């Protein structure tokens, strides 16, 4: 099937009225959580996973994908209007966007962000459509050793790009891997770490872990210091860009799209990194670098394009290899599994309607987002005045009811409380929760492929370095860790990752 026939199939799925409706709900919710600081897309998708259980696989994944890229849009609105990034990758947008808003140019800033995002999202989706099939074909030749090395690469790169202490990030990954081992052993059926509870034989519930570590822990974190937000800009007027503005943003948008598409494929926070990379590129290339930090429209258009491009291309490793690039993608894996589909190179052949439907829906979603964000910006400004004290009881309840509704298993809810407090303590003591979730999702896969590879090689570990693809992947993994430890890069990382969700 050639690309256009495939996309035709995709659009026939995506244009189904029900799917359009859920795509709209997805981007709407995404924008909402992107706008509201304090809840990020990770917690939201974790809470909504149970709800999607009753939908078709296509519909469910279209909606969840919409939440993710919708949040990238919404985050910029808050960044521009109140200098507070609603989503971590919008931290850069706040630098120049808020300055533009203070000069009364909030409208053009929002318009530049939205148009740049739309362009970047559309182009990156096309790249996803073009590159995913060949990559998936290549991945079909992967055996157990290659998968093992690939997972190791994914885990280690996520540390290199995450912020904070590297040893702590490693510890969180290993802890995640161990938690992933709770339940019956895949080869022998021996129950492990189950305290004799039948309910734990199937393993810890993914949603419960995610909701606990990201949702409940975040709430406890926010209750440490309660403060109200202030909205500086009450009304936004004049959304149109002048001819001069348009001329100034064309190149930054193009460059941002390129940078974002490339970096988005990398595991571990590619969208945050790409926004920063684009900003520094624009500043270096600009004829007026002194304007940056004081309201340069290039500083809004470039990074916003970059983070949206990255949001789309980060689906590439998920849809072709079944390897999540960051926690939100880990949740998407959970969504696939809930629907009875194993994500990986086979999805494109076994479920073409699902695969191409999700891709096609991204164009529709991006279009919906422009409509949602520009004319309705006043609504989002109003949203900012919902106090947190009303929001968080809703989050706690949705988490409990949603998790309970998946399996009617009360131990899943006890697990939320357990992971809420453990997650809170670890975050409080300076550990990032994202690597833990990645480890948890990849743990069973890692063990399965390791054991299979060792059986293939009759117990000889050199199989991982004698097979070329596997060896290359392991060298890349080693390089990622070395790069992360180098002092000059460490300093840059400290600057880059000042804000995280």
Partner 1 sequence: MALKASRNDLASGAIFIAFGAYFALEALRYDFGTPFRMGPGFMPVVLGGILIALGIAVAAKGLGKPDEEAAPPWPLRGIVLVLGTILFFAATIRGLGFIPVVLIAAFATALSSSRNTWLSALIISAGLCVLCLLIFVVGLGMIVPLIGPWLRF
Using CB under 8 A, list all residues that contact partner 1.
Answer: 51, 54, 165, 167-168, 170-171, 174-175, 177-178, 181, 185, 187-188, 190, 192-193, 216, 219-220, 223-226, 387-390, 392-394, 396-402, 404-405, 408, 410-411, 413-414, 416-417, 420-422, 424-426, 428-431, 447, 450-451, 454-455, 458-459, 461
Q: Nearer to partner 1 by C-beta: 115 or 400?
A: 400
Calculate the CA 137 to chain-centre distance. Answer: 24
Spatial neighbors of 460 by CB under 8 A, at least 6 apart, are 454
Measured from the CB of residue 482, what is the shortest distance to partner 1 in angstroms?
A: 18
- Distance between CA atoms of 192 and 296, rounded to whole angstroms? 57
Q: Nearer to partner 1 by C-beta: 260 or 402?
A: 402
Measured from the CB of residue 171, what is the shortest distance to partner 1 in angstroms?
A: 4
- Distance between CA atoms of 165 and 482, rounded to whole angstroms? 14
Provide the token pair at 476. 């890349």
Measured from the CB of residue 438, what is the shortest distance to partner 1 in angstroms?
A: 15
Q: Nearer to partner 1 by C-beta: 212 or 252?
A: 212
Measured from the CB of residue 344, what is the shortest distance to partner 1 in angstroms?
A: 21
Measured from the CB of residue 129, what is the shortest distance to partner 1 in angstroms?
A: 32
Measured from the CB of residue 33, what is the shortest distance to partner 1 in angstroms?
A: 16
- Residue 191 φ then ψ, to 5°: -70, 135
The closest alpha carbon to 121, from 172, 69, 173, 53, belongs to 69
Q: What is the 3-state secondary structure (H, E, C) of 174-229?
A: HHHHHHCCCEECCCCCCEECCCCCHHHCCCCCHHHHHHHHHHHHHHHHHHHCCCCC
Q: Nearer to partner 1 by C-beta: 85 or 423?
A: 423
Provide the token pair at 394. 């809703």
Q: Nearer to partner 1 by C-beta: 107 or 435?
A: 435
- Distance between CA atoms of 318 and 219, rounded to whole angstroms? 29
Q: Nearer to partner 1 by C-beta: 5 or 167?
A: 167
Measured from the CB of residue 39, what is the shortest distance to partner 1 in angstroms?
A: 15
Q: Nearer to partner 1 by C-beta: 142 or 398?
A: 398
Q: Nearer to partner 1 by C-beta: 140 or 486?
A: 486
Q: Nearer to partner 1 by C-beta: 141 or 190?
A: 190
Measured from the CB of residue 445, what is the shortest distance to partner 1 in angstroms?
A: 12
Measured from the CB of residue 187, what is the shortest distance to partner 1 in angstroms?
A: 7
Q: Nearer to partner 1 by C-beta: 187 or 240?
A: 187
Provide the token pair at 269. 């926070």
Could you give the C-alpha distances from 383 to 39, 234, 318, in angstroms and in order?
13, 12, 33
Are 309 and 260 in contact, with CB atoms under 8 Å apart? yes
Sort residue 20 into left (φ over 0), alpha (ψ -120 to 50) or beta. alpha
β partners of residue 184: 191
Q: Nearer to partner 1 by C-beta: 134 or 387?
A: 387
- CA angle 134–135–137, rounded 5-degree value: 65
CA dihedral 233, 238, 243, 249 (to 10 degrees): 30
Measured from the CB of residue 160, what is the shortest distance to partner 1 in angstroms?
A: 16
Residue whose entry in the numeric block shows the structure tokens 């990238």: 72
Measured from the CB of residue 270, what is the shortest distance to partner 1 in angstroms?
A: 25
Buried b (16+ CB within 10 A) or exposed e, 27-36: bbbbbbbbbb
DSSP readout, 37-86? TT--HHHHHHHHHHHHTTS-HHHHHHHHHHHHHHHHHHHHHHHHHHS--S
């Amino acid at each position: 099937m050639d690309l256009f026939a495939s996309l035709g199939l995709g659009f026939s799925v995506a244009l189904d009225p029900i799917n359009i409706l859920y795509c709209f709900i997805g981007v709407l919710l995404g924008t909402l959580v992107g706008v509201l600081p304090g809840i990020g897309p990770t917690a939201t998708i974790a809470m909504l996973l149970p709800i999607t259980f009753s939908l078709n696989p296509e519909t469910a994944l279209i909606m969840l994908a919409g939440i993710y890229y919708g949040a990238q849009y919404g985050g910029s609105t808050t960044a521009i209007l109140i200098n507070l990034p609603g989503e971590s990758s919008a931290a850069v947008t706040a630098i120049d966007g808020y300055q533009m808003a203070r000069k009364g140019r909030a409208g053009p800033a929002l318009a530049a962000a939205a148009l740049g995002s739309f362009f970047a999202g559309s182009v990156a989706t096309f790249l996803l459509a073009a590159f995913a099939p060949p990559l998936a074909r290549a991945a079909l030749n992967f055996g157990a050793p290659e998968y093992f090395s690939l997972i190791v690469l994914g885990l280690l790169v996520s540390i290199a790009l995450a912020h904070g202490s590297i040893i702590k990030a490693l510890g969180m990954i290993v802890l995640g891997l161990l938690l992933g081992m709770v339940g019956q052993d895949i080869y022998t059926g021996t129950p492990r770490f189950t305290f004799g509870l039948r309910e734990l034989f199937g393993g810890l519930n993914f949603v419960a872990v995610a909701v606990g570590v990201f949702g409940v822990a975040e709430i406890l974190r926010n209750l440490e210091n309660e403060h109200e937000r202030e909205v500086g800009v009450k009304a936004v007027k004049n959304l149109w860009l002048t001819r001069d503005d348009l001329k100034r943003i064309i190149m930054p948008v193009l460059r941002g799209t390129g940078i974002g598409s490339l970096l988005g494929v990398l595991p571990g926070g590619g969208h945050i990194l790409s926004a920063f990379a684009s900003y520094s590129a624009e500043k270096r290339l600009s004829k007026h670098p002194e304007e940056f930090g004081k309201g340069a429209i290039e500083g809004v258009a470039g990074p916003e394009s970059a983070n949206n491009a990255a949001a789309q291309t980060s689906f590439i490793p998920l849809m072709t290899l079944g390897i999540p690039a960051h926690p939100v993608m880990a949740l998407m894996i959970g969504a696939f599994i809930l629907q009875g589909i194993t994500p990986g190179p086979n999805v494109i052949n076994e479920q073409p309607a699902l695969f191409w439907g999700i891709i096609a829906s991204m164009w529709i979603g991006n279009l919906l987002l422009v409509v949602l964000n520009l004319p309705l910006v006043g609504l989002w400004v109003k949203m900012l005045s919902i106090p947190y004290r009303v929001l968080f009881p809703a989050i706690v309840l949705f988490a409990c009811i949603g998790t309970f509704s998946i399996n009617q298993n009360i131990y899943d809810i006890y697990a939320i409380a357990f992971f809420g407090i453990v997650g809170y303590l670890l975050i409080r003591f300076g550990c990032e929760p994202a690597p833990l979730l990645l480890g948890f999702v990849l743990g069973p896969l890692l063990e399965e492929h390791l054991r299979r590879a060792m059986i293939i090689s009759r117990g000889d570990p050199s199989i991982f370095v004698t097979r070329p693809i596997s060896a290359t992947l392991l060298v890349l993994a080693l390089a990622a860790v070395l790069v992360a430890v180098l002092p000059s890069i460490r300093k840059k990382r400290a600057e880059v990752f000042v804000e995280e969700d």
